[in-house]
Chain A
């Protein structure tokens, strides 16, 4: 069924009896051309683009829990293309363009809101770094505006500009950045893939990857064995365990990233604001809740919940930046399992096993990458060649030295 305003009107006038489930709930077939392990944003987008761009529809997405139940349903929903490093810059630029056409492409309302992102800076040196970053973004064909203090005050009158520790000098304004309704992105890709013939199989845990003579032949699952010519991992924080089934170790350590949301408030924060010096960023959801977060807890964890020191740190930073949020009551907090690569950049590559593909290491930036990752990963799976914007996300770059260290911190696990 095609969604439209007319459809809403028609169904509303006929008792809403005509709505169909958005996708089928099929049993697994014994064999597919491509199996995707993981029914999150990246896995579903990959299935969608395999079908749409490459005509490969004999595909199943295997999901241990329910579709979109991992990080795509548990993030702070930010979409942006403000990277500086060659390899990242063109990838996120491509991804943002896909975001801009996503609702039409999927016929699905993902509530993509280009409300703008402002990265604050607090010193002359940081201003220079952001000016350079902005020029890199413009050279890539994206948008950036360097705001001075007065420019920031016009857009963000509620910040504490004169705090003594990190007085606000200005900000880098990326107008095309913003937010989206995270679950809807997963659902939209799921529906689009299903419509094109992809089987979305939930409650189906992969328990083994079958390899014969160095070539993948299928997987073992909680719903029986499934054979396939190609198997593609897209398991985010659980990538380490999936890779282990194929006898691989990844340059990835899973960490917690916490996020927080307050009770619903009247509109007060119009943009996404980041405060890098204090490790804090914030936006306001369409429902009114202030959605914010900070840095990792900084120890390996699969607990899917964080600890108090980081929560305190994030909230202290928020209070320093915008004292007005002090009276908002915190509704909930949660922790996601982040697949932190040692250089802070992702991996989209062939595994050393023939027919096996790796999509991992998204760190805390996987959400904005959903369309770009799906598009580039589908290209790799379909053609066995790297898609140009993602060509540097190699699995072997850590060994060859061609690491992609966006933050220039070094390629070591405890640094990103």
Chain B
């Protein structure tokens, strides 16, 4: 599996660490425990097919990336900086 980092280019998956589903981009507020925190930390759609998840390019530019990929074929479909994705959501 190779992931094309927007800054570093096409790199071996060994350079990256998987964090988890893009849910992690939407951290709930700090007002205390709520069902939103259960969603954020635990509950997952867990799709067999296209998913979007966060990877850390630790052995490269140390950016957080949002990777769109297929969990059945391991194809990498799209990669962008998590920062850009987060800004795009406002």
Contacts and interface: CB of A to CB of B under 8 A. Distances in A.
Interface of A: 238, 240-241, 244, 249-254, 298-303, 307, 309, 342, 398-399, 401, 411-414
B48 A249 contact: no
A139 to B, nearest CB: 31
9 contacts: A249-B39, A251-B42, A252-B44, A254-B46, A300-B71, A302-B48, A303-B72, A399-B35, A412-B20
Given A300-B51, A413-B20, A414-B18, 19 more contacts: A241-B48, A249-B44, A249-B46, A250-B44, A251-B43, A251-B44, A252-B46, A253-B20, A253-B46, A298-B17, A299-B18, A300-B18, A300-B53, A302-B72, A303-B73, A303-B74, A342-B42, A398-B38, A413-B44
B41 interface: yes
A414 B71 CA distance: 16
Interface string B40-73: 0111111110010100000000000000000111
Contacts of A299: 18, 53
Smallest CB-CB A-B distances: 3 pairs: A240-B46, A251-B42, A299-B18
B45 A414 contact: no
Contacts of B44: 240, 249-253, 413
Given A253-B21, A303-B74, A240 B42 contact: no
A413 B47 CA distance: 15
B71 A303 contact: yes
Nearest to B48: A302
Q: Which of B42, B47, B72 has the most CB of A within 10 A?
A: B42
Interface in B20-42: 20-21, 33, 35, 38-39, 41-42
Contacts of A414: 18-20
A244 B45 CA distance: 8
Interface of B: 1, 12-14, 17-21, 33, 35, 38-39, 41-48, 51, 53, 71-74
A249 B43 contact: yes
Contacts, number: 78
Contacts of B46: 240-241, 249-250, 252-254, 300
A241 B42 CA distance: 16
Contact of A307 (B33, B71, B74): B74
Nearest to A244: B45
Contacts of A398: 38, 41-43
B34 to A, nearest CB: 10
Contact of B41 (A303, A307, A309, A412): A412
Contacts of A249: 39, 43-46
Q: Which of A299, A303, A309, A414 has the most CB of B within 10 A?
A: A299
B38 to A, nearest CB: 4
A251 B1 CA distance: 26
A414 to B, nearest CB: 5
Contacts of B41: 342, 398, 411-412
A240 B47 contact: yes
Contacts of A302: 48, 71-72
B2 to A, nearest CB: 10
A220 B45 CA distance: 21
B21 A300 contact: yes
Nearest to A341: B42
